[in-house]
Amino acid sequence: MRERFTTEMKEAMKAGDKRRLGTIRLIQAALKDKDIEARGAGKGQATEDEILALLQKMIKQRQESITMYEQGGRPELALQEKEEAEIIASFLPKQMDDAETKAAIEAAIAEAGAASMKDMGKVVGLLRAKYAGRMDFGKASGIVKDLLPKG
C-alpha cells in the first residue's frame, strides 16, 4: 500500500494534478505520524489494517468538514473536501454494499454467540478484524443494534 502511495504521487506530479498530489501528501504525512506513534509503542511501522483505519478516519474528517462548509455557505470549500475524500477513498478496498454488510453482521452475531446488546462489542470487534477498510462501521453499528435482541 505504501508503494502505491508513492507511485500515485509520482503520477499526480507528472500529470500536474495538484489536488491529487496534495491529498496524497496529506495521506503520507498522516502515515508518517502513525509510524512514529507505532515506533513509540515498540511496534515498528503501522500495519495495513492501521493504514486502512487511518484512511477511513481521514474520509470521516472530510465528511464532517463538508457538512460544516455547506451549512456555513462555503460550497467551494465543501467541493474541495469532497474531492479529497474521493481521492482518499480510491485507496480503500471496494466497500461492501448494504446486503453484504447485513449478511456479514448476521454471520458475526452467530459466530460471537451474541444474545443481547451486551455482546455488541464482541460483534463489532469481529467485524473490524475481518472487514477493516471494506465496511462503514458507523452504519454497521446501527445495523448490529437493530439485529441484536434488546435486553
Q: Are residues 73 and 106 in the same domain?
A: no
The CATH number linked to 114 is: 1.10.10.410
Q: Are residues 60 and 85 in the same domain?
A: yes
The CATH number linked to 10 is: 1.10.1510.10
Q: Are residues 20 and 66 in the same domain?
A: yes
Q: Going by C-beta distance under 8 Å and a sequence separation of 6 or more, which residues neighbour residue 1?
A: 48, 51, 91
Q: Are residues 74 and 122 in the same domain?
A: no
Domain that holds residue 40: 2-89
Q: Are residues 14 and 79 in the same domain?
A: yes
Structural domain count, the chain: 2
Burial class of 116 by CB neighbour count within 10 A (0 to 12, 13 to 18, 19+): exposed
Q: Structure pTM?
A: 0.71
Q: What is the pLDDT along the chain (151 residues), one digit of tens a residue?
A: 899 999 999 999 999 999 999 999 999 999 999 999 988 888 888 888 888 889 989 999 999 999 999 999 999 999 999 999 999 999 988 888 888 888 999 998 888 888 888 888 888 888 888 887 788 787 888 888 888 887 5
Rounded to an integer, what distance in angstroms lies between the CA atom of residue 9 and that of residue 91? 12
Q: Are residues 142 and 123 in the same domain?
A: yes
Would you say 84 and 125 are in contact if contact means Cβ atoms under 8 Å apart? Answer: no
Q: Are residues 113 and 61 in the same domain?
A: no
Rounded to an integer, what distance in angstroms lies between the CA atom of residue 2 and that of residue 44? 14
